[in-house]
Chains A and B, each alone.
Chain A
Amino acid sequence: MKKALSVLIAMVLVLCLSGLAAAEGTTYHIGICQLVQHVALDAATQGFQDALKEKLGETVVFDLQNASGDTNTCSTIMNGFVSNNVDLIMANATPALQAAVAATGDIPILGTSVTDYATALDISDWTGATGINVSGTSDLAPLDQQAAMLHELFPEATKIGLLYCSAEPNSKYQVDVIKGYLEAYGCTCTEYTFADSNDVASVAQNACDGSEVIYIPTDNTAASCTEAIRNVVEPAGIPAVAGEEGLCKGCGVATLSISYYDLGYATGEMAYEVLVNGADAATMEIRFAPNVTKEYNAELCEVLGVSIPEGYAAIE
């Protein structure tokens, strides 16, 4: 018992010393909280780390924690970061960002993979920057460019069906915005909403009957049942333009794709600005994906007889 106790004390002392040693020199400690294990979010985290490692090399230390989809764990993780007094917090996805904002009003916070900061942080008078210790990047693909692409591919189409899940605020937001752009091209838009993956097939059928082209935003529910949608749109001969690559691969003909890696990388560059150049997160404008690529689904385009102009890359 005594021996065990002395070993324990020795260990604690060693830990104390190593903690002190780490505090010397200018090392930047960054806490990263990612909401859930997910390909896109993983890529954003990777991009963030790569950007900072490139710029700061060995002087940056990451504490990467994953909440495994549990919003409550986000708070626990943030509590750890704040008590560690990290130099900067990177919050990957909306609930992680909200937990970070609840945890600290002082430590700079950068978000990524967040679609709409104004809604997430309950900011009514949106100016492009948050005005608090928060900035970051949005994963929204520019909707005006998406509308332009749809019009470029299908200039004759006037009846557009907007297909999305009623339970997803991000989808609703995108549909509301793109509707305005499409109507400017002289199209009439009709919304077709499904409640979950069980009624997606019948709603998609309904959308095919009433439209010439279908648009699907970055909808998680739709993304999880692309086969069901494809089984409807392909026999009906109606092309679908999708909000992101995964959806396009499954059931769409074309998409304007953003890279989550690039998005994370851009967030890393913002972190460099904050850490080294002393930029104030409160006044840093929220940034969007630096590059968008036009992509198409070669197989489905051939089946539906859609001709793709120059400048589009085939999805592998």
Chain B
Amino acid sequence: MNPASLLNALPGAVAQGLIWGIMSIGVYITYKVLDLADLTVDGSMATGGAVCVMLMLNGWNVWLALLCAIVAGMLAGFLTGVFHTVMGIPAILAGILTQLSLYSLNLAVMDFKANQGINVTKYPLIVSQRNVRTLSIDNPIFITLIFLAVLIGILYWFFGTETGCSLRATGANEAMARAQGINTKKAKILGLMLSNGIVALASVLLAHYQGFVDVNMGRGAIVIGLAAVIISEVLFGKLFRNFALKLIAVAIGAVLYFIVIQVVLWLGLNTNLLKLLSALIVAVFLAIPYWKTHLSAKHPAKGGQTHA
């Protein structure tokens, strides 16, 4: 319970949070922009890392491997999109189906091993947890921030283009979007691909950061992603109106999530209860907007509608 050690632990929490912040931006695109709950991410959060690590072990260039990993993530999103739009399967179920199939596919990518380590001293990893407390350009916080800045820049530009606008319109009001001549099925598939491509990027960074890829790496990813989106909504919803700022808020939300976890660990909570705590954090942040509307609805009535 030494405060200095908590302070010392913060860089790690921030780095981890920023990596999951990239992943959460992927979740934001489906959950907020497209208004779809996409559970594919639990699978694609392992796919990206698996593809990248296996290619690197086979002597590929790290950036080429990263590119392939992103493409693999996009293919996973494409699969969910096809399940959803072409086969008419509800989005949640379509995501679960892809997630399920990705378990086998990830195993196949990893040569049917459930876990594969990659050594930081032997391969040019993009980020590594080892450098998290060093003041150099190798620091994962610095590198992940660059990735985030570029990603947010690209997304800001993309959602201003005609295709991007059609995506937003599809999420805002599907019937209206269709009436405007937008192919909403195409828009949904594109959104799912974009989202899972981003998740795959985060997966690569996470695998590099922790030095291994595990077939169960993405389990529960959607909870962290949603937590980040919701925390950002509650804390910065009123403050940040601009789309780019909203994406930054999502990344901050993920960082806060990991800081809370690190603080709780530092406080000496029995780690067996950690999952319960994660669920409670998300539940509280989900409840705050609801309570707020209740409170503000009551004020003008001044107790006149207490039975309502």
Contact = CB atoms under 8 A, between A and B. Distances in A.
Given A74-B210, A79-B16, A103 B275 contact: no
A168 B112 CA distance: 7
Nearest to A65: B271
Interface in B13-30: 13, 16
Contacts of A27: none
A121 B13 contact: no
Given A121-B119, A169-B112, A75 B4 contact: no
Contact of A85 (B5, B209, B215, B224): B5
Interface of B: 1-10, 12-13, 16, 57, 107, 112-122, 128-130, 132-133, 206, 209-212, 214-217, 219-220, 224, 258, 261-262, 265-266, 271-272, 274-275
A16 to B, nearest CB: 6
B115 A95 contact: yes
B262 A121 contact: no
9 contacts: A72-B16, A80-B5, A80-B12, A95-B115, A95-B212, A99-B129, A120-B117, A122-B122, A169-B112
A167 B107 contact: yes
Given A72-B206, A72-B217, A76-B12, A102 B129 contact: yes
Given A15-B2, A71-B216, A121-B117, A76 B130 contact: no
Contacts of A82: 9, 12, 133
Given A70-B274, A166-B112, 6 more contacts: A71-B217, A73-B271, A76-B262, A83-B6, A102-B212, A172-B112
A231 interface: no
A66 B272 contact: yes
Contacts of A123: 119
Contacts of B209: 75, 102
B117 A75 contact: no
Given A98-B117, A102-B212, A16 B3 contact: yes
Contacts of B271: 65-68, 73, 77
A122 B112 contact: no
Interface string A188-224: 0000000000000000000000000000000000000
Given A75-B209, A98-B210, A102-B120, A167 B114 contact: yes
A102 B128 contact: yes
Contacts of A70: 219-220, 274-275
A72 B211 CA distance: 11
Given A78-B129, A83-B12, A122-B119, A18 B1 contact: yes
A105 interface: yes
In this complex, the member of A71, A102, A103 whose beta carbon has the largest number of chain B beta carbons within 10 angstroms is A102
A12 B261 CA distance: 19
A16 B7 CA distance: 12
In this complex, the member of B13, B57, B265 whose beta carbon has the largest number of chain A beta carbons within 10 angstroms is B265
Given A76-B262, A98-B212, A122-B118, A104 B130 contact: yes
A128 interface: no
Contacts of A22: 2
Contacts of A297: none
A77 B258 CA distance: 11
A19 B5 CA distance: 9
In this complex, the member of A65, A119, A132 whose beta carbon has the largest number of chain B beta carbons within 10 angstroms is A65
A15 B219 contact: no
Contacts of B265: 65, 76-77, 80
Contacts of A72: 16, 206, 210, 217, 220, 224
Contacts of B275: 68, 70
In this complex, the member of A12, A78, A83, A123 whose beta carbon has the largest number of chain B beta carbons within 10 angstroms is A83
B41 to A, nearest CB: 13
A79 B117 contact: no
A120 B115 contact: yes
In this complex, the member of A85, A121, A122, A168 whose beta carbon has the largest number of chain B beta carbons within 10 angstroms is A122
A19 B4 contact: yes
A73 B206 CA distance: 12
Contacts of B6: 83
Contacts of B130: 102-105
Contacts of B3: 12, 15-16, 19
Contacts of A122: 57, 116-119, 122
In this complex, the member of A18, A73, A119 whose beta carbon has the largest number of chain B beta carbons within 10 angstroms is A73
A80 B211 contact: no
A172 B1 CA distance: 44
B210 A102 contact: yes
The 7 closest A-B pairs by CB, nearest first: A79-B12, A19-B2, A102-B211, A83-B8, A83-B9, A169-B113, A98-B212
Nearest to B15: A79
A102 B129 CA distance: 6
In this complex, the member of B9, B12, B118, B212 whose beta carbon has the largest number of chain A beta carbons within 10 angstroms is B212
Contacts of A68: 271-272, 274-275
A169 B115 contact: yes
Contacts of B122: 122
A106 B299 CA distance: 59
A247 interface: no
A94 interface: yes
Contacts of A95: 115, 212, 214
A290 interface: no
Given A84-B5, A99-B210, A105-B130, A76 B16 contact: yes
Contacts of B10: 83
A173 to B, nearest CB: 9
Given A83-B5, A122-B122, A76 B114 contact: no
Interface in A123-161: 123, 132
A84 B2 contact: yes
